[in-house]
Structure 1
Amino acid sequence: MRVEQSFIPIRGVGEQTERKLWRQGITHWDDFHPDAVGSTTAERIESFIDDARERLAEGDSHYFGRQFPSEAQWRLYESFQDGAAFFDIETTGLDQRHDAVTTVSVRQGSETKTFVQDRDLTADRLRETFADADLLVSFNGKRFDVPFLQQSFDLDGVLERPHLDLMYPCRRLDLTGGLKQIEKDVGIERDRPDLSGQDAVRLWYDYQHGDEAAIETLVSYNREDVDHLETVADEVVTRLHESTVPDNCTF
């Protein structure tokens, strides 16, 4: 579902009214006509569409991130997927005040970059990498990855952009148990299914003690998380679209 097919950002338009519009064949902003709803709501819809068209033409994802309710942020995905940054971090533990970020992987387009502590993992590299992202995509990134990155690299403003944290839409679909379990549930196979977050910590310390092979395994593990995020996002957004749109509506 693209943002142009949504009407819920408009004050006075909830899911019920939006479905009513869809059932009338109004499945895109271009299809809207004032007679479909009351005059006040029609004025609000037309005003929103006029503004939103300009913002979409400018690629202003921040505008839509502000307009769409939190539970509907997944609707931004299809419109801004080309400019999305899928990201994941590994750390030495769970406490952002005392533990350190060891690797950060970011996938944009068809390219995945991985930055490693004491090599190229710096605030400047992260700012440069996230600078042009229209949309952030993570799994539990709002509660874990973003606070860690902010604490460790002082990225004020850099990560303040629309953020699709897949953990929450996954829960709406009863996909639970962590990213690796969800990958299994949607049919994704891992190259190293035996590795876990605890292994990531161990691999880092093995590397610190001279095991060069350990950092290669850690980087591969972190990159696989990010590469699979895009597949999970595609599947989740498709399922949410199917569960949101009435059966008799054609988009």
Structure 2
Amino acid sequence: MRIENSFIPVQGVGEVTERRLWEHGVTHWDEFDGSVVGPTLADRIEAFIDEGRDHLARGDVAPFAEALPAASRWRLYENVRDDTCFLDIETTGLDASCEDVTTVTCHRDGETTTFVKDRDLTARRLANELAEASLLVTFNGQRFDVPFLETCFDVDVTVPHLDLMYPCKKLGLDGGLKAIERELGIDRDMPELSGRDAVRLWHEYERGDDGALETLVEYNRADTVNMEPLTEIVSDRLHETVFEAARLDA
């Protein structure tokens, strides 16, 4: 499903009205003729489509991210798949005011980069990495990763953000990232670790164990890279249950 299939970013259009449009054959912006809704709402939708085309021509999905509910931002992914940055961080604790970020991994267009505290993890590098992305994808990053980075590095993360936790809940996929991976059959190339293990590994590295850092980086990278197949699966399933189901009912 692409943004051009969506109408709920329009003020006054909820899921019921959007589904009614789809069921009447208006499944794409190109098919909208104003006949299914009243004239005021039709004018609003037409203005949205005109402005939306301009935004997409520039590769800018930010206005749609701001207008879509968190659980519906998966709709952005297909339009900017190649410019999506999957991101995950590890920290020394849960309080950004007194704890540190130890590693940050970014995965985009098949390339994976990990930044490490006291080596190459800086505000400038983070800002440069995010500036290259049209969409940021995390798991629970809306409540944790992004606020942590903004507090610890004094950066303003403005890239449109898809937090996978919310569309996963829409599909009944609850629990943490690893539990959802197991349920969906997404494999990992390393033994399963936890956030607590990540803290322990960092402290072991600080005491001189370079192997502990290697394991921590591998763990952080696995979390990040696995978000890509998770996004694909979640987007495909929601496409079927939200969009295709409405088309079949038409």
TM range (shorter): over 0.9
Contact 1:23/1:246, CA 8 A, preserved across alignment: no
Contact 2:70 2:162 in 1 (8 A): no
State the match for 1:201 in structure 2.
199
Q: How big is each residue's C-alpha offset from its partner over 1:68-122, in whole Å with a ceiling of 9 and x where there is no partner?
A: 2333222111112221111000011111111111100001111010001111111
Shift of 1:203: 1.0
Q: 2:72 maps to what in 1?
A: 72
Residue 181 (structure 1) aligns with? 179
For residues 12 and 112 of structure 1, do their structure 2 counterparts lie closer, same or farther at Cα, with a shift above 3 Å needed? same
Hey, what does 2:226 align to over in structure 1?
A: 228
The alpha carbon displacement at 1:218 in A equals: 0.7
Secondary structure class of the residue paired with 2:73? helix
Question: Retained in 2: the 8 A contact 1:97–1:151?
Answer: yes
Distance 1:20 1:79 in 2: 24
Q: Over residues 177-226 of structure 1, what are the superposed CA-to-partner deviations in whole Å (9 max), with x where a residue is unaligned?
A: 20000000111111223321111111111111111111111111100100
Q: Give the Cα separation in 1 of the matches to 2:161 and 2:12.
A: 25
Q: Counterpart in 2 of 1:111?
A: 111
Secondary structure of residue in 1 paired with 2:115: strand
The answer for the alignment partner of 1:214 in structure 2 is 212
Pairs within 5 Å for 1:159-178 = 159-178=157-176
Moved more, 190-199 or 85-94: 190-199
What's the TM-score once normalised by structure 2's chain length? Answer: 0.94
Q: Paired residues, what number?
A: 248
Give the aligned residue type for 2:68: F
Q: Distance in 1 between matches of 2:153 and 2:68?
A: 29
Q: Which residue of 2 aligns with 1:238?
A: 236
Q: What letter is aligned with 1:87?
A: L
- Opposite residue 171 of structure 1, the aligned amino acid is K
C-alpha distance in 2 between matches for 1:248 and 1:206: 53
Alignment partners' CA distance in 1, 2:54 and 2:246: 31
Instruction: Give the structure 1 partner of residue 132 of structure 2.
Output: 132
In structure 1, stretches of 5+ residues that fail to align are none
Tell me the residue number matched to 1:93.
Answer: 93
Unmatched segments (≥5 aa) in structure 2: none
- CA offset at residue 22 of structure 1? 1.0
Aligned to 1:191: 189
Kept in 2, the 8 Å contact 1:88–1:225? The answer is yes
Return the TM-score normalized by structure 1: 0.94
Counterpart of 2:33 in structure 1 is 33
Residue aligned with 1:191, SS? coil
Q: Secondary structure of 1:17's match?
A: helix
Query: What amino acid is aligned across from residue 218 of structure 2 in structure 1?
Result: S
1:26-67 CA distances to partner (integer Å, 9 max, x unpaired)?
111011112232222211111111111111111111121223
Deviates more, 1:6-15 or 1:87-96: 6-15
Query: Is contact 2:92-2:99 (8 Å) kept?
Result: yes
SS of residue matched to 1:249? helix
